Amino acid sequence: MSDYDAIIVGAGPAGSTTARRAAQAGLRVVLVDKAKFPRDKPCAGGIRHFVTELLDFDPKETLHRRISGLALFSPSGFRVDCVPQDRSKPGYTVMREQFDNLLFQKAVEAGAETKEETRITKVDQQLDRVVATTSENETISAKFIVGADGINSIVAKELGFYRGWEGKTAGVAIEMEAEVGASKVREICGEPGGYDAELLLLWFGDLPNGYIWCFPKRSVLSLGAWCRQDITQDIRGTFNKWFAKFKAQYSIDPEIVSDSGARFPIVPAEEIAKGRALLVGDAAGFVDAFTGEGIPYAIHSGIVAGSVLKDAVKDPRLLSNYREQCRKTIISDLMVSSSMASLFYKRTKNMETLCQFFRDDSYANYLIAALLGGLLTPKAVKTKLTRRIVRKRPGAAVSLLV
């Protein structure tokens, strides 16, 4: 006899969503995290409108700024603003400590049991159940286990899904929060033209595969840089040089309230459902290789996992449906982003050519804005952008590939 229907290891967006959905379906679930909530997590905290559509509650108490679009800075230094005319689907920024805590509380509210400050160190799969062992040597058993424990997933490693994220399969990021005051946030990130919304600012070209960012929160800026881990050279030094110029440009000398770093995967894991286990969120490699976003996919995979677990408690063979459902939705979007990333980040010249195209061609600019605004899918944007550049700038299109 197992203690639970499912053990969910990790209570980030992926784990808390899985736990909420499974508990709502009547399953006995336990959500285990090594941290005590509220806990922080290094993150720029940008979320698309789509995230608010996925949630079955209103996260408005945790939303800091309304985001209408992007300001892209090309390697040579010009700026291109991509803002959709249709402002019905703004993005938002959040502080992860607040946002993740809300998701965690929503899992509790739905009936999930929780164990905080509990690190899972061992997972053993038996014929009819899984047994997880904690660092205190306690055991928890369940019919199923879900690895929602991020890039260093112990569930994935213990159950032989993969060994780790090496070479070009992961990105490395540094992130700091700088207190500048609400009016400075507005001055730096406010959308030109007097609209009551902010932009996410991205600088390309300083790093070979990634970007430097400035995202607005209420009175704080999230500033950071990410790069594919196998080709990054001195990300901290590159960021510091950029930061010195940024501070001079805006006449600021902010208090740094946090400064940390983390890695994230940028390739979906080959196996995400096996035996009595599922992987969700970062543990499954569900992060966009172009933008570095993982929150939408963490929540989406949690929703799929919750629904699959509901069926699997009646028939364990149905657990494998998770693979197919993720393939059709999350993985197919991530593959499109990955191919866009390969072309965009191939070399600095490609980043410059594409930024020029987004600046000079209003339809291409609209497509980038619509992608951010969730008005078009990544697949639709990729197809339309490819056709557009081939038709309007055939020379540039060829130069991107060679």
Ligand X SMILES: Cc1cc2nc3c(=O)[nH]c(=O)nc-3n(C[C@H](O)[C@H](O)[C@H](O)COP(=O)(O)OP(=O)(O)OC[C@H]3O[C@@H](n4cnc5c(N)ncnc54)[C@H](O)[C@@H]3O)c2cc1C
The residue ranges that bind ligand X (CB under 6 A) are 9-15, 32-35, 39, 41-47, 119-120, 148-150, 154, 173, 175, 224, 262, 264, 281-283, 287, 292-295, 298
Contact (Cβ atoms closer than 8 angstroms) between residue 354 and residue 76 = no
Which residue's CB comes closest to ligand X? 294
Nearest to 48 by CA among 28, 25, 71, 68: 68
The DSSP line for 128-150 is S-EEEEETTS-EEEEEEEEE-S-
User: How far apart are CB 293 and ligand X at their closest, in Å?
Assistant: 3
User: How far apart are CB 256 and ligand X at their closest, in Å?
Assistant: 15
Report the residue number, 42 or 389, with the smaller CB distance to ligand X: 42
**CB atoms closer than 10 angstroms to residue 391:** 9
Nearest to 294 by CA among 101, 63, 99: 99
Report the residue number, 254 or 292, with the smaller CB distance to ligand X: 292
User: How far apart are CB 292 and ligand X at their closest, in Å?
Assistant: 6
User: How far apart are CB 401 and ligand X at their closest, in Å?
Assistant: 29
Report the residue number, 297 or 357, with the smaller CB distance to ligand X: 297
C-alpha distances (whole Å) from 329 to each of 333, 335, 361, 376 are 6, 10, 30, 14
User: How far apart are CB 170 and ligand X at their closest, in Å?
Assistant: 10
Report the residue number, 264 or 357, with the smaller CB distance to ligand X: 264
User: How far apart are CB 338 and ligand X at their closest, in Å?
Assistant: 15
Q: At 355, is the secondary structure helix, strand, or coil?
A: helix
Report the residue number, 170 or 312, with the smaller CB distance to ligand X: 170
Segments in 198-331 forming alpha helices (H): 235-249, 295-312, 321-326
Helices (H) and strands (E) in the chain, counts: 13, 17
Can you give the length of the chain in residues?
402
Report the residue number, 27 or 279, with the smaller CB distance to ligand X: 279
